Structure 1
Amino acid sequence: MRAIVLAQFGDPEKSLVLKDVPMPAPRPGYAVIKIESFGINHAEMHMRKGEWAESMPIIGIECAGTIVSSLPADAIKPGTHVLTLMGGLGRTVNGSYAEFTSAPLTNIVPISPSHVAKLGWARLAALPETFATAWTCLFRNLQVEPGERLLIRGATSSLGLAAVKLATHKRAVVSATSRSPEKAGELKALGVQEVLEEGPALADELISSGRKWDKILELVGNSTLLGSLKLVRRGGRLCLAGFLGGLDSLEFNPLLQMTSGVHFSFFGSFVFGSDEFPLSDVPLEEIVGMVANGELATEPKRIFSFGEAGVREAHRLMEAGQAGGKMVVVVNKE
């Protein structure tokens, strides 16, 4: 099969190389999937640069495709359309930047043929990782309810946009931040009530004006976390789930830097499929149905063809902060 292989750590041109490699072999508890499309994610950029704790020669943490085989053989019928994410993909098993992959049965979600026919493979590739993560952050960690005031920092990232769509569908009152003021119209069209320009001074300005939110989804990361913690009301919740501002470490003393009565949690999607975080906890098939029925508006921001040129360009845009939303790669043209 053809695969984009991580030849070395570094820039996209030297790292991401198209090669012929062996097909994944069937093994117990896994299914072999013919990949039709896959999403591009920030985690893969860090894997490419050697900044992630684990990575495989073939990276990629999610895909949409069709079952070829499984062990046990009757676990999933060959020909079944599926989404898969995490479960070690790209980290401990070869991932989705390829024509085929092998994914744990625990991390595979069957999708009806009617939804595949209606949405197409490119749109399906935009859903698994971002929407499963956004749903868990919003409705498990943050426990967002209708009418609550929610601030999403980093809202024009692919994860941020998924969170905006799910939160406004839940009828939360959403405020959002973006580094690009010109994206305010896009966010307001999705139901965001207020768009704030992201920057180093934003938290101090909001704190000085006495602003507080019921819930905050922090996607910028360590560089803005301490400020965000001061913007949550007593009894409110903050969930850290992204690192758009980079992976630099942070000195954090809760005694001095955290407001009393605030609930602070972290969520990393790499836990999906573990005993404590089964993927079945996420209504992913229901979310796909909501997209198919027009309840959630979801389109990839950019669609690339499979190969060195497309994948490298996606990584260049992602690293420059110019993706503007979810980017996907279609392996076989629809």
Structure 2
Amino acid sequence: MKSQKTMRAILISSFGPPEVLTISYAHPTPSPPLPGFASIRIRAFGLNHAEMHMRRGEWAESVPISGIECVGTVESCPGGEFAVNQPVAALMGGLGRTIPGSYAEYTVARCNNIVALANPGEQLPMGWAQLAAVPETYATAWTCLFRNLGLERGQSLLIRGAGSAFGRAAVNLAVEAGAIVTATTRSENKVAQIKGLGVAEVIVESGLGLPQILKTGGKMEKFDRVLELVGNSVVVESLTLVRRGGRLCLAGWLGGLDPIPGPEGEDKGKGFNPLLQMASGVQMSFFGSFVFGEDEFPLDDVPLREIVRSAAEGAFDARPSRVFRFDEIVEAHRVMEEGKANGKMVVVVDNDDH
């Protein structure tokens, strides 16, 4: 009888702190893919807050092998959508949520959720560790900016939560597109780094609330577009910062996953009340990257190869803030949980994959 191939995989042994992540050195490799799927040898993967919530048991869906994105090479693809050994990125499509994810040496993903990073035999524009910092973060940022917000050159854009990996990706893309970007952060330590990305202004948020900070600074002019990454706790406030006819996109939850609070003075149970809390004449939308790969949200809508090329050519800095080894996953999650990531962190599967 032919023995089952095995691989290294990081497993959520139970819901809890970073220490619940354990490495299996003999986990069964995924079965050969069906048509419409491809198996991928994972070279590196990015770390995401969603995986922290999955590890804690706070996400609606999760499986023992977490990880919603990766970069690597195609092992097999029965439908012929990708060539064997072709460099690719895979993201979403249930990875880490309903099917085994990227915290492993191999995974199987839907071809609709895979994008080629280079043609077969073509040299990659950057190393695996740097490539791993791009897929989910930049695909989501690009879609929020240029699909939901319809951002155009010369428009004013406010990004709340710009110190996060998602926020920095959005800053890079918006500045490259010619928008006038105002960025916010809650950390004084991140101001210089964010300014270095080319924004017009960085505002440190405090307990005053952003509208009050803007009034105090004499700059209460409203924005054409707002990308809200802090989330439900401040989105109603952010709506007041959008000019009539402008747009707001809610796409991040740095402030936690609690529901939008109701009007001040009302019982908490009543929750969000659009009649009392929505801004008139302002368009509000939402984007969640879990829809990538669906018919209405094809992944090839995102110019991911062009984004990678721009980063490789120095149009903006998309390098990871930290690179961890596979066996350092607990430390990586600890850094993420303590809010010390300082950008996009990645994990390389093999030590020679930097």
TM-score, normalised to structure 1's length? 0.96
Whether 1:47 and 2:65 are equivalent positions in the alignment is: no
What amino acid is aligned across from residue 146 of structure 2 in structure 1? F
Q: Deviations over 1:195-251 (max 9, x none)?
A: 111234222405645331110000001111111011100000000000001101122
Q: Which residue of the partner structure matches residue 293 of structure 1?
A: 313
Whether 1:230 and 2:252 are equivalent positions in the alignment is: no
2:104 counterpart (75, 78, 98): 98
Whether 1:17 and 2:27 are equivalent positions in the alignment is: no
Q: Which residue of the partner structure matches residue 170 of structure 2?
A: 163
2:193 counterpart (183, 186, 190): 186
Distance in 2, Cα, partners of 1:36 & 1:115 = 17
Query: 3-state SS of the aligned residue for 2:147?
Result: helix
Would you say the 8 A contact 1:115–1:292 is kept in 2?
no
1:147 counterpart (136, 151, 154): 154
What amino acid is aligned across from residue 292 of structure 1 in structure 2? A
| Cα distance change on mapping 1:207 and 1:257 into 2, 3 Å | farther
Query: 3-state SS of the aligned residue for 2:234?
Result: helix
Q: Which residue of the partner structure matches residue 114 of structure 2?
A: 108
Query: 3-state SS of the aligned residue for 1:53?
Result: coil
1:271 counterpart (268, 271, 291): 291
Q: Which residue of the partner structure matches residue 130 of structure 1?
A: 137
The percentage of aligned residue pairs carrying the same residue is 58
Q: How far did 1:106 drift? A: 0.4
TM-score, normalised to structure 2's length? 0.90
What amino acid is aligned across from residue 22 of structure 2 in structure 1? V
Whether 1:214 and 2:221 are equivalent positions in the alignment is: no
What amino acid is aligned across from residue 327 of structure 1 in structure 2? M
Q: Which residue of the partner structure matches residue 249 of structure 1?
A: 259
Distance in 1, Cα, partners of 2:275 & 2:202 = 31
What amino acid is aligned across from residue 131 of structure 1 in structure 2? Y
Would you say the 8 A contact 1:115–1:289 is kept in 2?
no
Q: Deviations over 1:148-192 (max 9, x none)?
A: 110000001000000000000011000001111122111111111
* Counterparts of residues 25-40 of structure 1 (less than 5 Å): 25=31, 26-40=33-47
Distance in 1, Cα, partners of 2:214 & 2:206 = 14
What amino acid is aligned across from residue 38 of structure 1 in structure 2? F
What amino acid is aligned across from residue 64 of structure 1 in structure 2? V
Pairs aligned (count): 330
Q: How far did 1:116 drift? A: 5.5
Note the residue ranges of structure 2 that are not aligned, 5 or more in a row.
Answer: 1-6, 261-270
Note the residue ranges of structure 1 that are not aligned, 5 or more in a row.
Answer: none
What amino acid is aligned across from residue 215 of structure 1 in structure 2? R
What amino acid is aligned across from residue 171 of structure 2 in structure 1? V
Q: Deviations over 1:87-110 (max 9, x none)?
A: 110011100000000010001111
Whether 1:262 and 2:262 are equivalent positions in the alignment is: no
Query: 3-state SS of the aligned residue for 2:89?
Result: strand
Distance in 1, Cα, partners of 2:21 & 2:12 = 5
Q: Deviations over 1:304-334 (max 9, x none)?
A: 0012xx1111111111111110000000123
Distance in 2, Cα, partners of 1:28 & 1:6 = 29
Q: Which residue of the partner structure matches residue 318 of structure 1?
A: 336
Distance in 1, Cα, partners of 2:101 & 2:138 = 19
Q: How far did 1:29 drift? A: 1.4
Q: Report the aligned-residue RMSD.
A: 1.4
| Cα distance change on mapping 1:52 and 1:265 into 2, 3 Å | same
Q: Which moved more, 1:26-35 or 1:163-172?
A: 26-35
Would you say the 8 A contact 2:46–2:132 is kept in 1?
yes
Query: 3-state SS of the aligned residue for 2:137?
Result: helix
| Cα distance change on mapping 1:126 and 1:109 into 2, 3 Å | same
Q: Which residue of the partner structure matches residue 75 of structure 2?
A: 68
Would you say the 8 A contact 2:197–2:316 is kept in 1?
no
| Cα distance change on mapping 1:144 and 1:206 into 2, 3 Å | farther
In terms of Rg, which structure is larger?
Answer: 2
